[in-house]
Amino acid sequence: MTSILKHHFTTKIFSPLRLSFFIVPLAIVIGLMVAFFLWLLEVVTNLRWQHEWLIWLLPFAGVLIVWVYKTLGENSDKGNNLIIDAIHNPSTMVTFRMMPLVLLTTIITHLFGGSAGREGTAVQMGGSTADLWSKWLQLKPADKRILLLCGMSAGFGAVFGTPVTGAVFALEVIAIGSIKFDALLPCLLAGIVADITCAACGIHHTHYSIASIENAVIKIGGFFLKVDILLILKVALAGCLFGLAAALFANTTHFIKQKTNQYIKQPLLVPMVGGALVIGISYALGTFDYMGLGVANPNNGVSIVTAFNSYGVTNFSWLWKLLLTAITLGMGFKGGEVTPLFFIGAALGNVLASYTGCPVDLLAGLGFIAVFAGATNTPLACTIMGVELFGGQHILYYAIACFAAYYCSGHKSIYSAQRVAVRKYNSLL
Amino acid sequence: MTSILKHHFTTKIFSPLRLSFFIVPLAIVIGLMVAFFLWLLEVVTNLRWQHEWLIWLLPFAGVLIVWVYKTLGENSDKGNNLIIDAIHNPSTMVTFRMMPLVLLTTIITHLFGGSAGREGTAVQMGGSTADLWSKWLQLKPADKRILLLCGMSAGFGAVFGTPVTGAVFALEVIAIGSIKFDALLPCLLAGIVADITCAACGIHHTHYSIASIENAVIKIGGFFLKVDILLILKVALAGCLFGLAAALFANTTHFIKQKTNQYIKQPLLVPMVGGALVIGISYALGTFDYMGLGVANPNNGVSIVTAFNSYGVTNFSWLWKLLLTAITLGMGFKGGEVTPLFFIGAALGNVLASYTGCPVDLLAGLGFIAVFAGATNTPLACTIMGVELFGGQHILYYAIACFAAYYCSGHKSIYSAQRVAVRKYNSLL
């Protein structure tokens, strides 16, 4: 027994302390960078709302972004995929230029009204900083891998204020169909420290809420049903549709990227056309609600926040956001995919609620997490994200929606570097 | 695009319907069996409380249990390990006798005051029924594997009223350090149906609650801290201790089993001595609080419920429960390990709270899930269990405690059939 205790104390208990030595300062730096990024994002989003004419410059902003990446980017244009590649194969070179470049170009995208998100930027800033850190510390490849995972977790945890989700997301996103636990504790530590740092800078995350559901007790013979089986079935069906929407988004983005590269031979022309399309479609729709981040909207327009209220979105809001985001990200602009996925999901959930008679806030919240789960193949992280964002009462519905969306979204992900560890279907399924 | 949709509709959307055909009836049967088991368990526990002299028969009850397994048990004495083996290698023979045998012997164990739990019994009833089902349906090995996982998930989900945890637990427990997602949706379906069935029979699960914590905002220079960093550090430390307690439990049980088999040559004498030890230690302690399930206690004694209140347990309650359970399960009696692990964790958490100044209910709840996480190597399932049992507000603390406990509990599990997929430590850690 003494030897067991001694073994525990020398090799296990004190190693987290050794580990913190590497990870805590890294996570603080990432948390500060994410706070700066979120602050900048708010500034440029407000600027765009105040000066509507800025959107006319979107095509030229796109040219600038593509030109900057062509001239200075080295391989950093690969974005999140480069970080995922480096985690699978630590000899992959990640350049630190990725950090300032993705920050700058995301801000430009948002200033001029491109439809994009935040998480890709935060994850890339975290990953490239972690890579630099591991070079300075001259870490072995296995250690570099852990630090890269921590960088992703820190970026994700800080940008959404969800540290547990950040840790599970980093481990879950690198491969489809499995999670390995070797970096569980380091990732959680990184996520917590980065989130605390970011919040300490005064960054507030948007608050969403889903009201309680009181199920009536139904007596059938000698049996009592306290759950709403019909609601469970509706949520499962909605989850499947969220998964199909995720697959549609991933396929549309890939399709646009492939076709434009095929038909438009001059690379600088691609974002020019993309920017023009975003403006044109917005004018055709008569609204700018689907440009930019889409979390809130000062003009009483459609946003993620309004998707939680009855009649807060139109029947096709989800589709327009999907299209504009696929064009923005497929044609050279920068930013994350996740916030638009939240928008698409919440808006689609809102519509499904009105047709199925489910609570609107519940289905909007489920769409928010489940489209993301389907598009990135991270059903566990998204179930946990539901708890961190909306509270734990509805965890059963989160799990049903996210698992069903994961199941229905196919093997094509928004991250092409994601590997298939375990396929989703087998003979029984 | 048409071909993508067609592919989705033919191979993916309709397969859950096909799948339900196998799993729903199985889960309903398991839910009914678990309800019957929980009802019986309540009856015999009340009987023992009313007739204290029953505990004097514990040694003879043990002889009966060992004799029954020797005579009729075939290989079902291996319990949960047999189910886990069969999941890894579907050609492993699981006998259906396991179902009635484990039900009967667990009830006997509890009637006469052995210190044991419920989940092992529920999981074995679920697993052996699933095995029978797959024989009837003449399923292929890969399908049998999924059905066995569903059986575990259904048993676990129904016995604790936690379907999401049941699904993640089944996938997480079969190997240390990784989860594969191939049976995620079938397991969730099985857990939900079994839980609904069990609840519909009128089974109530004990309600636990953890009060809210309002963190004061601390201003340091230009930074605002809204989280209690000291509490996070205390929870991390407590998590490590929960992991060591889990390791102590697993090692003590294995040690007792090994030594008694080595020194007591007559197998029927083992439970005789074990029963006598349980009675003797209880008399020496002057309390019967550590016999039986330990969820509640009619005599104002120590139980899991009282561990959530200040001064609800003594300083060494956790150790006595650990010892009596290790003796009970290591010397031939039957039942689960999980409810005693809940007891050990909640009681240890209570003591740690009084020494560290943390909220008692929070640390009791964390111990409840984290000792279990450490002993079974299921940190994600236990984090989710925290949400399903205590609500989502404290998920950050659940994750810290469960991940730390997982990390500190070593590679020895209470299930010897569990395989190591990814080791817990590497060079950086």
Band (pLDDT 50/70/90 cuts) for residue B428 is very low
Q: Please, what is the average pLDDT of chain B?
A: 89
pLDDT at B14 over 60: no
Give the pLDDT of residue B4.
53
Instruction: Print the SS3 string covering chain B.
Output: CHHHHHHHHHHHHCHHHHHHHHHHHHHHHHHHHHHHHHHHHHHHHHHHHHCHHHHHHHHHHHHHHHHHHHHHCCCHHHCHHHHHHHHHCCCCCCCCCHHHHHHHHHHHHHHCCCCCECHHHHHHHHHHHHHHHHHHCCCCHHHHHHHHHHHHHHHHHHHHCCHHHHHHHHHHHCEECEEECCCHHHHHHHHHHHHHHHHHCCCCCCCCCCCCCCCCCEEECCEEECCCHHHHHHHHHHHHHHHHHHHHHHHHHHHHHHHHHHHCCCCCHHHHHHHHHHHHHHHHHCCCCCCCCCCCCCCCCCCCCHHHCCCCCCCCHHHHHHHHHHHHHHCCCCCECHHHHHHHHHHHHHHHHHHHCCCHHHHHHHHHHHHHHHHHCCHHHHHHHHHHHHCCCCHHHHHHHHHHHHHHCCCCCCCCCCEECCCCCCCCC
Q: What are A334-346's pLDDT values in tens digits?
A: 888 999 999 999 9
Give the pLDDT of residue B15.
55
The CATH architecture that domain B2-200 belongs to is Orthogonal Bundle (1.10)
Closest residue to A178, CB basis, from B181, B186, B392: B181
Q: What are B38-59's pLDDT values in tens digits?
A: 999 999 999 999 998 999 999 9
Residue of B nearest to A15 (CA): B429
Portion of chain A with pLDDT greater than 70, in percent: 94
Query: B164–A383: do the CB atoms touch at under 8 Å?
Result: yes
Query: B224–A232: do the CB atoms touch at under 8 Å?
Result: no
Q: What are A311-333's pLDDT values in tens digits?
A: 899 999 999 999 999 999 999 89
Give the pLDDT of residue B46.
93
- What is the number of CB-based contacts under 8 A between chain A and chain B? 216
pLDDT at A125 over 90: yes
* Chain A closest-CA separation from residue B65 CA (Å): 30
Residue of B nearest to A7 (CA): B410
Closest residue to A181, CB basis, from B22, B178, B383: B178
Q: What are A152-191's pLDDT values in tens digits?
A: 999 999 999 999 999 999 999 988 888 888 888 899 999 9
Residue of B nearest to A377 (CA): B181
What's the CATH number of domain B231-420, 3.30.70.980, 3.30.1320.10, 1.10.3080.10, 3.20.20.110? Answer: 1.10.3080.10
Q: Say yes or no: domain A219-420 is CATH 1.10.10.410.
A: no
Give the pLDDT of residue A425.
64
ipTM: 0.91
Q: Which residues of B touch A178 (CB under 8 A)?
A: 178-181
Q: Which residues of A touch B15 (CB under 8 A)?
A: 425, 429
* Chain B closest-CA separation from residue A280 CA (Å): 24
Band (pLDDT 50/70/90 cuts) for residue A373 is very high
Query: B8–A247: do the CB atoms touch at under 8 Å?
Result: yes
Closest residue to A410, CB basis, from B8, B426, B427: B8
* Chain A closest-CA separation from residue B99 CA (Å): 24
Query: A164–B383: do the CB atoms touch at under 8 Å?
Result: yes
Q: Which residues of B touch A9 (CB under 8 A)?
A: none
Q: What are A282-305's pLDDT values in tens digits?
A: 999 999 999 999 888 887 889 999
Q: What are B308-318's pLDDT values in tens digits?
A: 999 899 999 99
* Chain A closest-CA separation from residue B425 CA (Å): 7
pLDDT at B349 over 90: yes
Give the pLDDT of residue B2.
52
Query: B177–A177: do the CB atoms touch at under 8 Å?
Result: no
Query: A11–B425: do the CB atoms touch at under 8 Å?
Result: yes
Over residues A189-214, mean pLDDT: 90
Closest residue to B188, CB basis, from A220, A400, A429: A400
Lowest mean pLDDT among A5-9, A192-196, A310-314, B170-174: A5-9
Determine the residue among A28, A225, A428 to mutate to test chain B binding: the one whose Cβ has the most chain B Cβ atoms within 10 Å: A428
Determine the residue among B12, B134, B231 to mutate to test chain A binding: the one whose Cβ has the most chain A Cβ atoms within 10 Å: B12
* Chain A closest-CA separation from residue B201 CA (Å): 5
Q: Which residues of A touch B222 (CB under 8 A)?
A: 201-202
Q: What are B81-106's pLDDT values in tens digits?
A: 888 888 898 888 888 999 999 999 99
Closest residue to A388, CB basis, from B139, B176, B395: B395
Residue of A nearest to B232 (CA): A192
Which CATH number does A7-200 carry? Answer: 1.10.3080.10
Give the pLDDT of residue B427.
36
Give the pLDDT of residue A93.
84
pLDDT at A428 over 50: no
Domain residue ranges in chain B: 2-200, 231-420
Q: What are A58-111's pLDDT values in tens digits?
A: 999 999 999 999 898 888 888 888 888 888 888 888 889 999 999 999 999 999
Choose the most confident range, by mean pLDDT, from A11-20, A91-100, A412-421.
Answer: A91-100
Q: Which residues of B touch A13 (CB under 8 A)?
A: 240, 408
Query: B428–A199: do the CB atoms touch at under 8 Å?
Result: no
Lowest mean pLDDT among A270-274, A300-304, B130-134, B142-146: B142-146
Give the pLDDT of residue B425.
64
B2-200 against B231-420: fold identical: yes
Q: Residue A49 burial (CB < 10 Å; 0-12/13-18/19+)? A: middle
Which residues, listed in sequence order, are joined to residue B176 by a DSSP beta bridge? B420
* Chain B closest-CA separation from residue A187 CA (Å): 11
Determine the residue among A2, A168, A181, A232 to mutate to test chain B binding: the one whose Cβ has the most chain B Cβ atoms within 10 Å: A181
Query: B182–A240: do the CB atoms touch at under 8 Å?
Result: no
Band (pLDDT 50/70/90 cuts) for residue A140 is confident
Lowest mean pLDDT among A155-164, A245-254, B222-231, B270-279: B222-231
pLDDT at A424 over 80: no
pLDDT at A129 over 80: yes
Q: Which residues of A touch B165 (CB under 8 A)?
A: none
